[in-house]
Amino acid sequence: PLPSGRTTYRTLADYNADMADLADMRPDIVKPFELPHKSLEGKTVHGIEIGHDVHEAEDGRPVFAIMGLHHAREWPSGELTMEFAYDLVTNDGSDERITNLLDKARILVIPVTNPDGFEKSINDGLLLDLRELDDGGLVSILGTPGNAYKRKNCRMVDGQEPLAGECALASSNGGFGVGIDTNRNYGGLWGGPGASPEFFDPTYRGAGPFSEPETQNIRELVSSRQVTTLITNHTFSNLVLRPNGVKPDTIGPDGHPVGQPHDEEELKALGAEMAAQNGYRNIHGWELYDTTGTTEDWSYNTTGGFGYTFEIGESEFHPPYPEVIDEYLGAGEYEGKGNREAFLIALENAVNTENHSVIAG
Ligand code: 0X9
Ligand code: ZN
């Protein structure tokens, strides 16, 4: 079973309750925090920090950051992020490897970076699942209702906050719909190839770099801490992606080629170590397709902390839950190929900071 024992997808309320539960269970090693900006619909974005003496002031220990659900429909990305938190908290004191890691590092966990979008997707998605149970194949004939496959956030009109309920009514299925792609909104390479200037496009980049509270949150969090390694979880394609999202000869915003990351060898080596665990392909972001304005391109290029996108799962945005369990543990169809071990290796790398010097962004 998963560290939490869960057998079904979490709702937004479940995530928030689980973070509070972990803090109740082990107040000594779990510190809940709120991200600085509320979502566009006014929701608080929650996270937890895990580590020994977590309530003491910053002590220079390296920080590992793991997050999920930039993209609303990518449910396993939040599940695996949350399960890793359960794993660390429930094994502290009994598992020597984990206990040691909680001694040496602090871990930031933000399972739902885009709560507005996720809420719309999960609400309609669970409804969809129920309908599938009731009427067999009918749903696939009718098509998917509502927002189950929504990708973006809840920006309705650039520069304006959404009215209550507005985003839920505006169908964003399949990605064409309202909102900004929070994984095209980060600064650094913002505005380049692989991101759209068109509002309804699935990869709409927003009015400017960091125009959205959801990306401002991650910028401010990462910039304020010594984040030596970061993983941003997505769904799907079984990939470990490393910077950059565009080829080295692509001209960047400063008029020069973006070039190869200075740490390419080390980034590739850690990618390979993690990929050896989850069985994924270890490639540059651009080898999938061009992207600009992504989380790890910004974080790596700005702070020097290593950043990766995990694309979890083979071919579905939200597969049946038993697959999520196997993908975390490395069981069943995924025997020996779990993300648990890949995350632990990333955390170990975060501790071993000889590899990379981090400059707060
Ligand atoms: O397009 C994306 O944002 C990611 N794929 S997804 O299917 N989850 O939407 C890929 C992001 C890749 N990151 C970089 N190339 N840096
Ligand atoms: Zn994604």
The pLDDT tens digits for 220-265 are: 999 999 999 999 999 999 999 999 999 999 999 999 999 999 999 9
Active site residue 49: no
> Does residue 138 have a pLDDT over 80?
no
Ligand that lies nearest to the alpha carbon of residue 121, given by its number in the listed order: 2
Residues 40-65: pLDDT tens digits? 999 999 999 999 999 999 888 999 99
pTM above 0.90, yes or no: yes
Residues 162-176: pLDDT tens digits? 777 788 877 566 657
Choosing from 311, 327, 341, 348, which is the catalytic residue? Answer: 311
Ligand 1 atom at shortest distance from the alpha carbon of 245: 15
Ligand 1 atom at shortest distance from the alpha carbon of 184: 3
Give the rounded distance of the alpha carbon of 264 from its chain centre: 22
Which pLDDT belongs to residue 361? 44
This complex has an ipTM of 0.97
- 48 within 8 A of 63, measured Cβ to Cβ: no
Ligand that lies nearest to the alpha carbon of residue 288, given by its number in the listed order: 1
Which pLDDT belongs to residue 128? 73
> Does residue 139 have a pLDDT over 60?
no
Which pLDDT belongs to residue 289? 97
Ligand 2 ion: nearby residues, β-carbon < 5 Å: 71, 74, 234
